[in-house]
């Protein structure tokens, strides 16, 4: 494996030594800021994602304190938050803004841009055997559009009237009428502008990922030899390409309703006794448009982690992935179905009940491909020779969280049950397990697993284990109790609930959840320390520390511009030849021809020798 690139490792250089002058003589700006190298862009997305995750997490800790300790006074927050905390009490509008921005940031900026941006960019060219993305320039633009969207969204946090506060789903009429709540003023405008730019960034990235997968696979890399990661990123990009434009339409229409007096989503409204001129529009239409994006969006968040987790589980269990084709088929099925279930978010918004039962039927079908995936992961782990790296722990936990959250999805998908459960904490528990936590766990798995290829060094395993167990235990401690509250009818998005006698029994449970939430928030600093420390001081990595089969591990420790110093690798086999009976080692990389593995070739593979 290693003989090919020995000559190149004489000048082992850390990719992060900013003043290091390497042979490409690019300026610092070209190399690290306006870089067109997919690896650098991936890291830019990763750092931006981490930044946003810290902000998003901080916001949730704030509103969790309000929920967990409704009677407490938070005078210590006053210097930081100014008039948002008066007399130690969180302003209700501030609470709404926190929840909205928490959701927006986590869903779009962290788990869409941060996740796909990092791993699609990093892995697509490396695992396909390409020198770079199809268009490096557009790839760079994609990051910088995201950056502008980020700046606008970040700026909106500091507006006097606060950022958007109508929930991350920004339903009109609340979001359409600046006079409705402070958050529907300038904050909402900036939200819409930021999201419009964000969507442009997603499209630039998406067309790039798709065309790269179609046109830039190296010789021998047929679609059926691609690692599941690539399949996952490919389908994610397709979903984004088709779903985001509809949100773009909805955002534009909403901008017109807000700023130019149109009535697309508005009709017959009185605000403070005064009749508005809007007539004829339909707020339900917005919900349809939003969720036409919104439901595929949750798969845009989770699909990349399907890929990452499949890859990590197979590598660390030293077993071929169980049901490779079924894995692809189920992802295709999920991708397809995700476009026809959106109205399960609208069961109680006045939709025709017959339509509701159609959407219920389609929704419940999604359980089938999802279950296929779960069984295949478990079957892959089953009797494997498991290597419990932090990435593997995160992947196994991902499967657990995905099951726990998925099961409640089946409950919610029943339109009759949803009448009781909609807009309660049951929903919050559901999507935080299946999307929030699971996607975060998949992302952590990816970071721990590909860190050596990204930075040429290893992350510390011990800290990784500590970080894992804190995060895993707390994820369940936070979200499991929420199911009970939800079934009891505890509503979401309520600033205060102490006024309702029924809910006073939940005081302890809420405090408990909040404490767990704060513990897990603090626990993430272990990861942050590990991450940044290892970039500079981590143990040096070898080319292929996990003994993995995919092509990225055939590059030098710090792949330079163009990824492979010599000619591009050529692919002969699928990526999951782990523990193949008769083979010398327990893995056979994709670029090893069958003529070299005579001892392990299966009967039908003899023909290729």
Partner 1 sequence: MSQTTTFEQPKTGTWDGGNEPFKASYGKLMMWFFLLSDAFTFGAFLTTYGLARHRHRSFEEAQALLPEAQRLQEFEFSTQWWPIPEKVFNAFPGFHGVDWPLAFVALMTMILILSSVTMVLAVEAGHRMDKKDVQKWLLWTILFGSMFLGCQAWEWTHFIAGDETGMTLADGSKIYGANLIVNQYGPPLFADLFFFITGFHGTHVLSGVVLLILIFINTVNGVYHRRGHYEMVEKVGLYWHFVDLVWVFVFTFFYLV
Min. distance of Cβ 31 from partner 1 in angstroms?
Answer: 24
584 binds, among Cu ion, partner 1, ligand HEM, none (CB under 5 to 8 A by kind): partner 1
295 binds, among ligand HEM, Cu ion, partner 1, none (CB under 5 to 8 A by kind): Cu ion
Using alpha carbons, list the distances in angstroms from residue 276 to 165, 251, 533.
21, 21, 57
- Closest to partner 1 by CB, 216 or 443: 216
- Closest to ligand HEM by CB, 109 or 324: 109
Min. distance of Cβ 382 from ligand HEM in angstroms?
Answer: 29
Q: Which helix (H) or strand (E) covers residue 478, if one does?
A: helix 461-487
Q: Is 31 in the site for Cu ion (CB under 5 A)?
A: no
How far apart are alpha carbons 101 and 56 in whole angstroms?
Answer: 7
103 binds, among ligand HEM, Cu ion, partner 1, none (CB under 5 to 8 A by kind): ligand HEM
Scanning the structure block, which residue is given the tokens 């946090």? 157
Q: Is 89 in the site for Cu ion (CB under 5 A)?
A: no
- Which residues contact partner 1 (rule: CB under 8 A)? 1-4, 128-129, 134-135, 138, 203, 206-208, 210-212, 214-223, 241-246, 248-250, 252-253, 256, 260-264, 277, 279-282, 285, 289, 292, 570-572, 584-585, 588-589, 591-596, 608-609
Taking residues 139 to 168 in sequence order and writing x for each that binds Cu ion by CB under 5 A, - otherwise, the string is: ------------------------------
- Closest to Cu ion by CB, 116 or 338: 338
523 binds, among ligand HEM, partner 1, Cu ion, none (CB under 5 to 8 A by kind): none
Using alpha carbons, list the distances in angstroms from residue 441 to 445, 468, 578, 587.
6, 9, 24, 26
- Torsion angle, alpha carbons of 273, 277, 279, 285, to 10: -80
Distance of CA 463 to the CA centre of its chain: 23
Taking residues 260 to 299 in sequence order and writing x for each that binds Cu ion by CB under 5 A, - otherwise, the string is: -----------------------------------x----
Q: Is 467 in the site for Cu ion (CB under 5 A)?
A: no
Min. distance of Cβ 488 from Cu ion in angstroms?
Answer: 23
Q: What are the contacts of 1-7 at 24+ separation with CB within 8 A?
A: 1/543, 1/544, 1/554, 1/589, 2/543, 4/554, 4/566, 5/543, 5/555, 5/556, 5/565, 5/566
181 with 99: CB under 8 angstroms? Answer: no
Min. distance of Cβ 428 from ligand HEM in angstroms?
Answer: 5
Give me the sign of the Cα torsion angle 590, 596, 598, 599. Answer: negative
Min. distance of Cβ 437 from Cu ion in angstroms?
Answer: 17
The count of other CB atoms within 10 Å of the CB of residue 597 is 20
Min. distance of Cβ 148 from partner 1 in angstroms?
Answer: 20
492 binds, among ligand HEM, Cu ion, partner 1, none (CB under 5 to 8 A by kind): ligand HEM
- Closest to partner 1 by CB, 13 or 131: 131
How far apart are alpha carbons 138 and 144 in whole angstroms?
Answer: 10
- Which residues contact ligand HEM (rule: CB under 6 A)? 57, 60, 64, 99-100, 102-103, 106-107, 111, 167-168, 428, 432, 435-436, 440, 478, 492-493, 517, 520-521
Q: Is 430 in the site for Cu ion (CB under 5 A)?
A: no
The count of other CB atoms within 10 Å of the CB of residue 421 is 21
Q: Is 43 in the site for Cu ion (CB under 5 A)?
A: no
337 with 296: CB under 8 angstroms? Answer: no
Per the structure block, which two tokens stand in for 307?
């890929």
- Closest to ligand HEM by CB, 100 or 236: 100
- Closest to Cu ion by CB, 102 or 295: 295
Min. distance of Cβ 192 from Cu ion in angstroms?
Answer: 22
Q: Is 432 in the site for Cu ion (CB under 5 A)?
A: no
Scanning the structure block, which residue is given the tokens 């499209």? 203
How far apart are alpha carbons 411 and 396 in whole angstroms?
Answer: 24
CB-based contacts of 541, cutoff 8 Å, min separation 6: 452, 453, 455, 456, 457, 458, 557
Per the structure block, which two tokens stand in for 170?
């920004």
Nearest CA among 365, 331, 363 for reference residue 347:
363
- Closest to ligand HEM by CB, 408 or 558: 408
User: Which residues sit at the interface with Cu ion, rule CB under 5 A?
Assistant: 295
């Amino acid at each position: 494996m290693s003989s090919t690139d020995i000559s190149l490792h004489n000048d082992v250089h850390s990719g992060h030594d900013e003043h290091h002058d390497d042979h490409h003589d690019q300026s610092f700006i070209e190399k690290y800021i306006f870089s067109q190298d997919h690896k650098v862009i991936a890291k830019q997305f990763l750092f931006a994602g981490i930044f946003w995750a810290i902000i998003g997490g901080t916001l949730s800790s704030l509103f969790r304190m309000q929920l967990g300790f409704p009677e407490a006074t938070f005078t210590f927050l006053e210097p930081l938050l100014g008039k948002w905390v008066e007399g130690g009490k969180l302003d209700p509008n501030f609470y709404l803004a926190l929840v909205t921005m928490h959701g927006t940031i986590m869903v779009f900026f962290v788990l869409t841009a941060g996740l796909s941006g990092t791993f699609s960019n990093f892995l697509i060219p490396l695992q396909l055997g390409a020198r770079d993305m199809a268009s490096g320039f557009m790839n760079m633009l994609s990051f910088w559009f995201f950056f502008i969207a980020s700046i606008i969204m970040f700026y909106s946090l500091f507006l006097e009237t606060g950022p958007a506060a109508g929930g991350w789903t920004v339903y009109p009429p609340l979001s359409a009428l600046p006079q409705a709540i402070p958050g529907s003023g300038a904050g909402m405008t900036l939200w819409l502008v930021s999201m419009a730019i964000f969507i442009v960034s997603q499209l630039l990235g998406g067309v790039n990922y798709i065309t790269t997968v179609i046109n830039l696979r190296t010789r021998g890399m047929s679609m059926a030899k691609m690692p599941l990661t690539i399949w996952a990123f490919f389908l994610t990009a397709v979903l984004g390409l088709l779903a985001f434009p509809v949100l773009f339409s909805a955002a534009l229409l909403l901008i017109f309703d807000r700023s130019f007096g149109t009535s697309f989503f508005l009709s017959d409204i009185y605000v403070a006794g005064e009749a508005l001129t809007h007539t004829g529009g339909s707020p339900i239409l917005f919900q349809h448009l939003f969720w036409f994006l919104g439901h595929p969006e949750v798969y845009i968040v989770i699909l990349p982690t399907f890929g990452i987790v499949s890859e990590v589980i197979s590598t660390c269990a030293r077993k071929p992935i169980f049901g490779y084709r079924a894995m692809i088929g189920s992802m295709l099925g999920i991708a397809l179905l995700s476009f026809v279930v959106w109205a399960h978010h609208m069961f109680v918004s006045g939709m025709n009940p017959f339509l509701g039962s159609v959407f219920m039927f389609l929704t419940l079908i999604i359980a089938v491909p999802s279950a296929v995936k779960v069984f295949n992961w478990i079957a892959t782990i089953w009797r494997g020779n498991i290597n419990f790296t932090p990435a593997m722990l995160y992947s196994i936990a991902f499967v657990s969280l995905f099951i726990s959250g998925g099961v409640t999805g089946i409950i919610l998908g029943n339109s009759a049950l949803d009448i009781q459960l909609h807009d309660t904490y049951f929903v919050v528990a559901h999507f935080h397990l299946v999307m929030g936590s699971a996607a975060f766990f998949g992302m952590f798995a990816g970071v721990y697993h590909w860190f050596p290829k990204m930075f040429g060094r290893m992350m510390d395993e011990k800290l990784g284990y500590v970080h894992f167990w804190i995060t895993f235990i707390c994820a369940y401690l936070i979200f499991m109790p929420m199911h009970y509250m939800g079934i009891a009818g505890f509503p979401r998005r309520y600033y205060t609930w102490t006024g309702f006698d029924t809910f006073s029994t939940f005081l302890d449970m809420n405090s408990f959840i909040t404490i767990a939430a704060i513990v897990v928030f603090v626990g993430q600093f272990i990861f942050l320390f590990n991450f940044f420390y290892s970039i500079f001081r981590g143990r040096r990595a070898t080319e292929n520390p996990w003994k993995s089969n995919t092509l990225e591990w055939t590059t030098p420790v710090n792949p330079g511009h163009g990824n492979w110093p010599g000619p591009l690798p050529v692919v002969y086999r699928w990526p999951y030849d782990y523990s193949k009976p008769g083979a010398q080692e327990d893995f056979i990389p994709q670029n090893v021809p069958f003529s070299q593995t005579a001892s392990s070739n299966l009967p039908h593979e003899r023909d290729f020798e």
